[in-house]
Amino acid sequence: MSRILLVRHGQASFGAADYDNLSPVGHDQSRVLGVALAARGLTADVVVAGEMKRHAQTAAGVLEGSGWSAEVDLDAGWNEFDHVQVLAVHDQPTTVEGESEKAAFQRWFEEATLRWTSGDHDEHYDESFSAFTSRVEAAVARLVATLPAKGTAVVLTSGGPIAWAAASLVADSFDARTDLWLRLNPVSINTGVSTVVCGARGTTLVSFNAHDHLTSPDLLTYR
């Protein structure tokens, strides 16, 4: 039986001009995860990352912490969806008195992604939700097809692809998977680890969003 560890990137630079860049906390999270994986005796036979900067930086931190010397294979199929565009085509909701900036952003983000996932406005997006899900499923299939028997792959990616990979392995219909994705995506923890196993029974999700390596409360972040 082989296994795939799907790792969400470390904390990015929320509110900065360049979101696609790990914060100092994000770098720490990545190294801490690498140390924890190595301490468990885990060795990665394959390391794959999306093509975003935060994916590469997370991969570097995990490799530094673990001491692994693996090459990082890039696969754009693991890239996050364009949340900037998804937000841009959806009017920001009216501010609620007393609401924090992060809470207001989260509400806007959830409303905007709900519009995107509906499929009713696909012409407004460079990548529709259905195209995104197909891209992620293809990335999973490519990895499963090339993973050595009893091998371990570590994938550095984002919350959106991980949530869809999980939903697609649990729910039976596209609508059910979409509903599950909308619930899983917002709770994805930075450097949270979701585990998929591949064997005689096919490809199965066995855990989602594990973060026991983040023993310090200061390292537990969602964005």
Which residue shows structure tokens 């001009």? 17
**Which ranges in the chain are annotated with CATH 3.40.50.1240?**
2-81+127-219
| pLDDT tens column, 70-117 | 999 999 999 999 998 999 998 877 777 777 877 888 888 889 999 999
pLDDT of 15: 61
Q: How far apart are CA 186 and CA 174, in angstroms?
A: 19
Which residue shows structure tokens 């394959």? 46
pLDDT of 46: 96
Contacts 24+ apart (CB under 8 A), 203-210: 203/140, 203/144, 203/169, 204/169, 205/165, 205/166, 205/169, 205/170, 208/166, 208/184, 209/184
Number of other residues whose CB lies within 10 A of the CB of residue 132: 21
Mean pLDDT of the chain: 94
pLDDT of 97: 76
DSSP letter at 1 equals -
Residue-wise over 52-83: b if at least 16 C-beta within 10 A, else e? bebbbbbbbbbbebbebebebeebebbbbbeb
pLDDT of 16: 59
The contacts of residue 147 (CB under 8 Å, 6+ apart) are 2, 4, 45, 46, 153, 198
Q: How far apart are CA 148 and CA 146, in angstroms?
A: 6
Whether residue 190 contacts residue 80, with contact meaning beta carbons closer than 8 Å, is answered with no
Q: Could you tell me where the beta strands, DSSP code E, fall in the chain?
A: 2-8, 46-49, 72-74, 152-157, 193-199, 202-210
Q: How far apart are CA 213 and CA 7, in angstroms?
A: 12
**Confidence band for 19, pLDDT divided at 50, 70 and 90:** confident
pLDDT of 17: 59
Proportion of the chain above pLDDT 70, given as a percent: 98
| pLDDT tens column, 158-210 | 999 999 999 999 999 999 999 999 999 999 999 999 999 998 889 999 999 99
- Token couple for 1: 């039986």
Instruction: Assign 128 to helix, strand or coil.
Output: coil
HSE-up of residue 99 (Cα within 13 Å, Cβ side): 13
Hey, which CATH number is domain 2-81+127-219, 3.40.50.2300, 3.90.1150.10, 3.40.50.1240, 3.40.50.1370?
3.40.50.1240
**Confidence band for 223, pLDDT divided at 50, 70 and 90:** confident
Q: How far apart are CA 96 and CA 107, in angstroms?
A: 10
